[in-house]
Structure 1
Amino acid sequence: MIALDYLPLLGTVTLIAVGMAMSPGQDFALVSRNAMIYSRRAGLWSSVGIATAVWLHVAYCVTGVALLITSFPRLYGMIRWIGAAYLVYLGVKSLLASSSPRMSADSDRSEITDRSAFGSGFLCNALNPKTTLFFLSIFTQIIRPTTPIAVQILCGLIISLAHLAWFSGVAFWLSTPRFLSAIWRLKPWIERGLGLVLMGVATHMVFQ
């Protein structure tokens, strides 16, 4: 069995995937924002969007497009600027939401469509140039070109599921009624904080 021959590789990828998903960053800020500002459903759909974007990274790593992107500074820079602009947009939305009138912990729930929540998660992950470099390092240092395509796809599945599981857990916990009730008075400040985090990440992306 090919899978058994590559168990050490799959184990390594699993550990890296879990650590990658759990590391603080713009994906975490986005899911937290959508779960608290909108709803658990919005947070979960954002998680699905992030997990789906993982497959985009896997696809261009397997096909060699990632290496092409990093080989052309202008193309890489364009992706970085687009990603930064999108994070600024999300950050501004959070700041505007934090200044809207507040009624109660139960009634204070803005709305967002499933499609928009999914799209925000997908774009947040897909337009992150650091994620591009991270996947490129995995698919060049750990997963070799000689690794069977089936195993490479399995590695992609592991990374995608790790992101889905972690961020779904984050969305579930941050949207529990008890948690929302406890942080209701601080919610405007949390929204402002998350908005500033997203804008700060965008600034770092531009000037790094």
Structure 2
Amino acid sequence: MYWTEFLTVALVHLLAVASPGPDFAVVVRESVTRGQRSGTWMAMGVGSGILVHVGYSLLGIGLIVSQSIVLFNLFKWLAAGYLFWLGFQALRAKPMPAAASVVDGEAMEPRSARRAFTVGFITNGLNPKATLFFLSLFTVVIDPHTPLAVQAGYGVYLAFATALWFSVVAWLFSRARVRAGFARMGHWFDRVTGVVLVGLGIRLAASELT
């Protein structure tokens, strides 16, 4: 009965998640510099962050935030500040020591699973663009008469699909050949990523509620 709606939700989400943004930038950087394990845990954090957006969309809080300039701006500046922090951390990257081994692709020590998960979770959870995306999804694409349990099921799928997508990204960018190539210019890759994150932060800070 709800297959058509579900497939529409899945397609819209696929197009959105495949678009490069803060989530993509941090997962790629983590996977290249610290390996698949750290990248995968960060992907899981990003996927879990989706549940935050789903939760307040189901509760109607997203509508309140989207209609309140004060709340939206508060949320926006928190997110922009976090992106600035991530970006400046990346910009401070230094060249690897000449003795650093790239045979096994180990450019840096992996983060703890908890730390990697937390960074991914916060990066996605503090994204106000995701707030507006999920608000649109749950008010325009999903019929308001769809049972809450079914809508929650959609949310679980979206979280799982997001985590799976970024786990694939982590796997791709943690391959030995890719990491060995990046290891030779890793600090420049970090700095480019830092510029991207700071740029995203500036763009977010300059955005307005529409």
TM-score range, shorter chain: over 0.9
Alpha-carbon distance, 1:188 to partner: 1.4
Identity %, equivalent residues: 36
Q: How far is 1:36 from its partner?
A: 1.2
- Number of the residue aligned with 1:94: 90
Q: Between Structure 1 and Structure 2, how many residues are aligned?
A: 204
- 1:195 aligns to 2:191 (yes or no): no
Alignment partner for residue 104 of structure 1, among 93, 101, 116? 101
Structural RMSD (CA): 1.4
Cα shift readout 1:151-171 (whole Å, capped 9, x = no counterpart): 101211221122111100010
Alpha carbons 1:98, 1:192 under 8 Å: kept: no
Offset at residue 175 of structure 1 (A): 0.6
> Which region of structure 1 is more displaced relative to structure 2, 109-118 or 123-132?
109-118
User: 60, 67, 81: which is aligned to 1:85?
Assistant: 81
The separation in 2 between residues aligned to 1:183 and 1:46, in whole angstroms, is 19
Displacement after TM superposition at 1:99 (Å): 4.6
Contact 1:50 1:124 in 2 (8 A): yes
**8 Å CA contact 1:13, 1:158 repeated in 2:** no
- Mapped pair 1:126 → 2:122: no
Identify if the C-alpha distance between structure 1 residues 170 and 104 changes in structure 2 by more than 3 Å, giving closer, same or farther: same
Contact 1:17 1:158 in 2 (8 A): no
What's the CA shift for 1:100? 5.7
After superposition, what is the alpha-carbon deviation per residue over 1:166-198, rounded to whole angstroms, capped at 9, x for unaligned? 100010110111211123212211111111111
Structure 2: how far apart are the matches of 1:126 and 1:51?
10
1:147 aligns with 2:146: yes
Per residue, is there more helix in 1 or in 2? 1
SS in 2 for 1:183: helix
Contact 2:65 2:72 (C-alpha < 8 Å) held by counterparts? yes
Q: CA deviation at 1:145?
A: 2.2
**C-alpha distance in structure 2 between counterparts of 1:175 and 1:87, whole Å:** 23
Paired position in structure 2 for 1:18? 14
Q: Note if contact 2:31-2:173 (Cα within 8 Å) is conserved in structure 1.
A: yes
Provide TM-score, normalisation by structure 1. Answer: 0.93
